Amino acid sequence: MPLALYCHLPFCRRICPYCDFFKKVPKPGQLDSFIGILAREVEQSAERERDWARGPADTVYFGGGTPSLHSPEQIAQTLDALHAHWEFAEGAEITLEANPGTLTLESLRALRVCGINRLSLGLQSFSSRKLKILYRDHTADESREAVNLAREAGFSNLSLDLIFGLQGETREEWGGDLREALSLNPEHISLYNLEYHERTPFGKWYEGGLIEETDQDLDADLYLLAHEVLTSAGYEHYEVSNYAKQGFHSRHNSAYWNGTPYLGFGPGAHSFDGKDRRFANIADIHRYQQRVEFEQSVVDKEWLYDPQTRWEDWLSVRLRRKSGIDFQECETTWGIARTVQLRNAAQSLPPRLRNLSDTHFSLTVEGWFVENEILGKLYSLTVQS
Q: Would residue 284 count as lying in a domain?
A: no
Do residue 27 and residue 106 come from a single domain?
yes
Do residue 341 and residue 239 come from a single domain?
no
Give me the pLDDT at residue 180, please. Answer: 98
Q: Would residue 251 count as lying in a domain?
A: yes
Residue 373 sits in a domain whose CATH number is 1.10.10
Secondary structure of residue 154 in the 3-state scheme: coil
Q: Would residue 148 count as lying in a domain?
A: yes
Do residue 167 and residue 244 come from a single domain?
yes
Do residue 12 and residue 116 come from a single domain?
yes
Q: Which domain holds residue 335?
A: 307-381
CA distance to 1, 43, 109, 297, 331, per residue, from 46 (Å): 15, 5, 30, 11, 34
Q: Would residue 19 count as lying in a domain?
A: yes
**Nearest to residue 122, comparing CAs of 21, 3, 264?**
21
**Among residues 196, 227, 256, which one ends one of the domains?**
256
Overall domain count for the chain: 2
Q: Would residue 61 count as lying in a domain?
A: yes
Secondary structure of residue 266 in the 3-state scheme: coil
Give me the pLDDT at residue 384, please. Answer: 76
**Among residues 256, 272, 291, which one ends one of the domains?**
256
Give me the pLDDT at residue 212, please. Answer: 81
Do residue 139 and residue 229 come from a single domain?
yes
Residue 118 sits in a domain whose CATH number is 3.20.20.70
**Among residues 256, 280, 297, which one ends one of the domains?**
256
Q: DSSP letter at 352?
A: G
Instruction: Give residues with Cβ within 8 angstroms of 145, minimum separation 6.
Output: 100
Q: Would residue 328 count as lying in a domain?
A: yes
Do residue 332 and residue 229 come from a single domain?
no
Q: For residues 104 and 83, is the Cβ–Cβ distance under 8 A?
A: no
Q: Would residue 147 count as lying in a domain?
A: yes
Do residue 245 and residue 317 come from a single domain?
no
Do residue 251 and residue 311 come from a single domain?
no
Q: For residues 178 and 230, is the Cβ–Cβ distance under 8 A?
A: yes
Q: For residues 355 and 362, is the Cβ–Cβ distance under 8 A?
A: yes
CA–CA dist 100, 305 (Å, integer) = 39
Do residue 196 and residue 329 come from a single domain?
no
Give me the pLDDT at residue 53, please. Answer: 96
Do residue 127 and residue 206 come from a single domain?
yes
Do residue 50 and residue 110 come from a single domain?
yes
CA–CA dist 343, 360 (Å, integer) = 9
Q: pLDDT digit of tens for each residue in the chain (385 aa)?
A: 899 999 999 999 988 888 888 889 999 999 999 999 999 999 999 999 999 999 899 999 999 999 999 999 999 999 999 999 999 999 999 999 999 989 999 999 999 999 999 999 999 999 999 999 999 989 999 999 999 999 999 999 999 999 999 989 999 999 999 999 999 999 999 999 998 888 888 888 888 888 888 888 999 999 999 999 999 999 999 999 999 999 999 999 999 999 999 999 999 999 999 998 999 999 999 999 999 999 999 999 999 989 999 999 999 999 999 999 999 999 999 999 999 999 999 999 999 999 999 999 999 999 999 999 999 999 999 987 6
Secondary structure of residue 168 in the 3-state scheme: coil
Do residue 235 and residue 336 come from a single domain?
no
Give me the pLDDT at residue 385, please. Answer: 60
Q: Would residue 298 count as lying in a domain?
A: no
CA–CA dist 286, 373 (Å, integer) = 39
